[in-house]
Amino acid sequence: MSYRTGDFDGASAFDDGVSLLITGPSTVTTEGLLDAVAPDDGERAVLITMNTGPKTIVKELERRGADRDQIGIIDCTNAETDVEGVPVRRLNSPGDLTGISLEFAKLLGQNDDESVRARVGVASVSTALMYTEPRTMFRFLHVFTARIRSGEMFGVFSLDPTMHDEKAYNTIRSVFDCEAEMTADDVSLSGTGYE
Amino acid sequence: MADGDDQPTVLVVEDERALIELYVRWLENDFEVLTAEGGEAALEQFGEDVDVVLLDRLMPGMSGDEVLEAIRAQTSDCKVAMVTAVEPDFDVIDMGFDDYLTKPIEREELLETIDRLLSRSEFDSIEQELYALSSKQAALRASKPKEELDENEEFAELQARIDELQADLDTTLPEMGDDEFVAMVRDIEADDSGGESPDSEGGDQ
């Protein structure tokens, strides 16, 4: 099986277990990330947000056809907002990686059936990198993408390369199966795991 | 201490003599097995060569929790499976052990748990080497033009090794579960905070 998406440089589906990095200016990549994680029927979407409030996330996902009961949010923005009908777990800092992993496990564990079809969005890796060492982030992303692979989920992560030195950017990008480089009016996709 | 053979070392800590004997019988073919009949004895036996500790939680004298704390103060490399009387809640992953087994333990279950913990140690070390090589490669990328790198032998070797490690990493833990995921992230954070106690400075930022 695979996860259907809108058009990404000619691709329209990503294989089970794949993690995609979307790079570019954050206004553009957040839109691209929401497009990619909007769930189909029978799927769930878990968003770990550090740069966009839960209200906006839910509104944008609904605009893309999602129902509220498909959505789960881990909010690291300190927005302090509730959204009716959507579980929102709050964390104090985007740097609390253990907290993120624990809440993630709890949100997905709510469904008892073994194989949950789930899309996972992290917006953004750039924000998280302001609170963690690149080495810690690299190792976290490795474990996270391994979990996504073993659970046959679809991971989507965004990053703004201009916020990091070239070395940090090149190190982080090597974790992902594929990368979509976005500008205001163009996408270029490279790597593996899509068709 | 001496690495005369390549068998991983398991330290069994249990106050019931009969159980120690049972576990040793199950483990001795595949592992170097050390035993301790209590917490104090466990810390005497513990050293860098221990890969996995099977630790009974409820013991007279020094408890399993206290032993765990003392072990964690020494190293974060070794994996600890806590043996409990009741199934603990999910959140106890925060308490610092890597996995748990509930009594009575069965042979298959014990062997599987130890194998998983050893795979996790392997994942950790592959991942650390991968980071070292990836950042080296990233530094080369940032400092040299692409045409030059295409002909650079060191860069090609680096890429080959990275591909190899990446493939190893993908096969080391094919079935990562939720509590395993959380425990591994916790270990990464504990490792990289460089010995600082995680709750010494509140969550203000």
> What are the tens digits of pLDDT across the range A77-128?
988 788 999 999 999 999 999 999 999 998 987 555 566 899 999 999 999 9
Across B31-36, average pLDDT: 97
> Best residue in A143, A145, A172, A178 to probe B by mutation, most B CBs within 10 Å?
A143
Cα gap A44→B138, rounded to integer Å: 35
Across B116-137, average pLDDT: 92
CB-based contact (8 Å) between A133 and chain B?
A: yes
Q: Containing H/E element for A104?
A: helix A97-109
State pLDDT tens for residues A162-184.
999 999 999 999 999 999 999 99
Residue A166 Cα, gap to closest chain B Cα (Å)? 6
Task: Determine whether A102 is exposed, middle or buried from the number of CB atoms within 10 Å of its CB (0-12, 13-18, 19+).
Answer: buried
- Domain segments of chain B: what residues? 9-114, 121-192
B176/A98 touch (CB, cutoff 8 Å), yes or no? no
Considering only CA atoms, which of A5, A42, A43 is closest in space to residue A22?
Answer: A5
CB-based contact (8 Å) between A143 and chain B?
A: yes
What pLDDT does B199 receive?
A: 40
State pLDDT tens for residues B141-192.
888 888 888 888 889 999 999 999 988 988 888 788 888 898 899 888 887 7
| Residue linked to tokens 């062997």 | B111
What pLDDT does B205 receive?
A: 35
B28 CB contacts (<8 Å, ≥6 apart)? none
Has residue B81 got a pLDDT over 70? Answer: yes
What pLDDT does B92 receive?
A: 56
ipTM metric: 0.91
B134/A100 touch (CB, cutoff 8 Å), yes or no? no
> Best residue in B134, B137, B146, B161 to probe A by mutation, most A CBs within 10 Å?
B134
Across B126-142, average pLDDT: 90
Which token pair is B161? 């090794």
B35 CB contacts (<8 Å, ≥6 apart)? B11, B12, B13, B14, B20, B24, B45
A10 CB contacts (<8 Å, ≥6 apart)? A189
Residue B198 — very low, low, confident or very high, per pLDDT cuts 50/70/90? very low
Across B113-134, average pLDDT: 92
The yes or no reply on domain B9-114 and CATH 3.40.50.2300 is: yes
Residue A191 — very low, low, confident or very high, per pLDDT cuts 50/70/90? very high
Residue type, B95: M
Give the domains, in start order, of chain A with CATH numbers.
2-183 (3.40.50.300)
Contact B51, B12 (CB under 8 A): no
Has residue B203 got a pLDDT over 50? Answer: no
Residue type, A174: S
**Which residues does chain B have within 8 Å of residue A168's beta carbon, measured at their own beta carbons?**
138
State pLDDT tens for residues A5-46.
999 999 999 999 999 999 999 999 999 999 999 999 999 999
List all residues of chain A from 87 to 116 with a beta carbon under 8 Å from chain B. 92-93, 95-98, 100-102, 104-106, 108-109
Instruction: Give the up-direction half-sphere exposure of residue A18: CA atoms within 13 A in the CB hemisphere.
Output: 22
Cα gap B113→A184, rounded to integer Å: 50
Percent of chain B residues topping a pLDDT of 90 = 53
